[in-house]
Amino acid sequence: MSQYNKPPMLGSWQLVTGECRNDNNGEQVQYQDVQLRSLKVLSETHFSFITHQGDAFYFAAAGSYCCEGDQYTEQLDFASHPSMMHREFVFQFRIEGDLWHNTRWENGVQVEHEIWRRLDSKK
């Protein structure tokens, strides 16, 4: 991949805020209310992230990704929860300065929205 085709999210990111839809009751869960903290690192073709809830480990995953237009897709090849292995997650994204906004929809319903802050200077 040439330097002109590098994905815009290349680098290291820290979760700023987010929300997701609870699978059990359909309510939106605010990440700050459940004390989720996460770091994500992306090379030109792969990503990994680790998430803590409070001071305890919560979830980790890694795999490949692709970026096309305003669509960012993660393919989980490794996951701390076996049910998440080999799943694909498709997000609509935008990057504004050092903030990366990701939104994921399922059947016309927003199920996840995250805002990440760039930790390094690669752009």
> How much is the average pLDDT of 2-31?
84
C-alpha to C-alpha distance for 17 and 121, rounded to whole angstroms: 21
Residue ranges making up the domain that contains 41 = 10-118
Mean pLDDT of 10-18: 96
Q: Which tens digit of pLDDT belongs to each residue from 48-92?
A: 999 999 999 999 999 999 999 999 999 999 999 998 999 999 999
Flag whether pLDDT at 123 surpasses 70: no
Instruction: Give bridge partners of residue 105 from the DSSP assignment.
Output: 110
Residue 50 lies in a domain: yes
Specify the pTM: 0.87
Residue 4 lies in a domain: no
Predicted confidence at residue 118, as pLDDT, reads: 97
**How many domains does the structure of the chain reveal?**
1
pLDDT band at 121 (very low <50, low <70, confident <90, very high): low
| Domain harbouring 17, CATH code | 2.40.128.490
